[in-house]
């Protein structure tokens, strides 16, 4: 409910955990979604002079969250259809739990696939993906196209037809690999990153002795001044690395911290399983992966300090991390 007066705007939202739907999203943000109301659009201009008072409807009445400012909005052809409000004073944890209670985590996938990473990375990838992403209507497979690909890449595309979410990542593996040339020779590009600032490929055509699990070429600035080096992991293990990084970024809920003393993270290691892969390097921070049921972690740093980025399937999987007292940049739990 939105009330527009001469001196202020009042917003009342329902209590509850409604990710990306109207309501309290975290300690800082309240999201409004609904039918377009053109007359209200001026009330939610960026940093409008009139204050916005936010309340949450509880059984005992309306609970005040304080004032907020518009931090962004989306507009349809008919007018306002979405607004993000940033609270002037973040909510204390006790208030957040009252107005946006954290439900218990639902069923979470196990992490037994980690045992397969060293011996059978393709099966490890399949087990992770099937557990992490929900089943959908599968797409038909073009067997002739897959037969021409290196076996790990063919297996990945078969898996993507069972779990189409693999093609909805911010930087997904290409549905159709592309032939190209580079400093090391002819290649087959199977993934592109960050608006084509870099890509990954395998030598093409493959040498028969290396066709089962070929090396991966990482190319910087492929269109302008290409520079290529060989990834530490072969294709089968690299595809697992790549998918873990994308799954963390695409997870429904996140938490992140930076420049944290390594000793503080060490207290959490007992609850996480390390994934035995070399550091993943596209952002040059050498991320290593750790997992727990329903939780993925990407960690970079040294013996003095680390940065950690968590992705979770359920908000409740992040909430226990509060017990460690980390200095959070973002926390969706």
What's CA 286's distance to the chain center, in Å?
Answer: 17
d(C-alpha 111, C-alpha 124), whole Å? 10
What is the predicted pLDDT for the residue at 206? Answer: 75
Please, which residues bridge with residue 181 across strands? 186
Residue entry with tokens 């600032």: 197
What is the predicted pLDDT for the residue at 140? Answer: 57
What is the predicted pLDDT for the residue at 194? Answer: 73
85-89-94 Cα angle (round to 5): 100
Name the 3-class secondary structure at 59: coil
Q: Residue 190's closest CA among 153, 155, 234?
A: 153
What is the predicted pLDDT for the residue at 212? Answer: 86
What is the predicted pLDDT for the residue at 293? Answer: 94
d(C-alpha 108, C-alpha 49), whole Å? 46
pLDDT mean values, one per 10 residues, the chain (333 residues): 91 91 91 79 76 92 93 58 87 95 89 96 97 82 70 93 91 89 85 82 76 88 82 95 94 90 83 92 73 94 87 94 88 90
What is the predicted pLDDT for the residue at 210? Answer: 57
Does the bond joining 205 to the residue before it have cis omega, within 30 degrees of 0?
yes
Retrieve residue 239's tokens. Answer: 């595809």
Other beta carbons less than 10 A from residue 169's beta carbon:
16
| CA distances in angstroms from 210 to 21, 118, 151, 230, 322, listed in the order given | 49, 18, 11, 14, 47
Retrieve residue 69's tokens. Answer: 């400012």
């Amino acid at each position: 409910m939105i009330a527009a007066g001469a001196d202020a705007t009042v917003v009342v939202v329902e209590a509850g955990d409604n990710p990306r739907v109207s309501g309290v999203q975290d300690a800082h943000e309240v999201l409004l979604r609904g039918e377009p109301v053109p007359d209200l659009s001026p009330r939610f201009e960026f940093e409008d002079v009139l204050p916005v008072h936010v309340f949450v409807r509880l059984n005992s009445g309306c609970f005040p969250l304080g004032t907020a400012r518009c931090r962004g909005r989306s507009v349809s052809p008919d007018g306002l259809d979405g607004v993000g409000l940033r609270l002037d004073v973040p909510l204390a944890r006790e208030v957040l739990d009252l107005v946006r209670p954290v439900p218990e985590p639902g069923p979470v996938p196990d992490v037994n696939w980690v045992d397969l990473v060293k011996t059978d990375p393709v099966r490890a990838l399949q087990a992770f993906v099937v557990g992490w992403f929900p089943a959908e209507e599968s797409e038909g497979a073009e067997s002739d196209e897959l037969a021409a690909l290196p076996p790990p890449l063919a297996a990945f595309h078969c898996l993507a037809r069972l779990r189409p979410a693999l093609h909805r990542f911010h930087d997904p593996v290409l549905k159709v690999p592309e032939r190209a040339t580079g400093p090391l020779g002819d290649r087959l590009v199977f993934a592109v990153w960050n608006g084509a600032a870099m890509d990954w490929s395998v030598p093409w055509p493959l040498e028969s002795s290396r066709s089962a699990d070929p090396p991966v070429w990482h190319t910087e600035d492929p269109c302008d001044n290409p520079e290529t080096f060989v990834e530490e992991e072969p294709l089968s293990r690299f595809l697992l690395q790549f998918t873990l990084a994308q799954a963390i970024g695409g997870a429904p809920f996140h938490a992140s911290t930076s420049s944290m003393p390594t000793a503080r993270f060490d207290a959490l290691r007992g609850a996480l399983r390390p994934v035995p892969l070399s550091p993943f390097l596209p952002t040059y921070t050498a991320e290593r992966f750790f997992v727990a049921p329903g939780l993925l972690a990407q960690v970079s740093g040294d013996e003095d300090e680390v940065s950690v980025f968590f992705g979770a399937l359920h908000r409740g999987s992040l909430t226990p991390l509060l017990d460690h007292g980390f200095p959070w940049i973002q926390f969706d739990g």
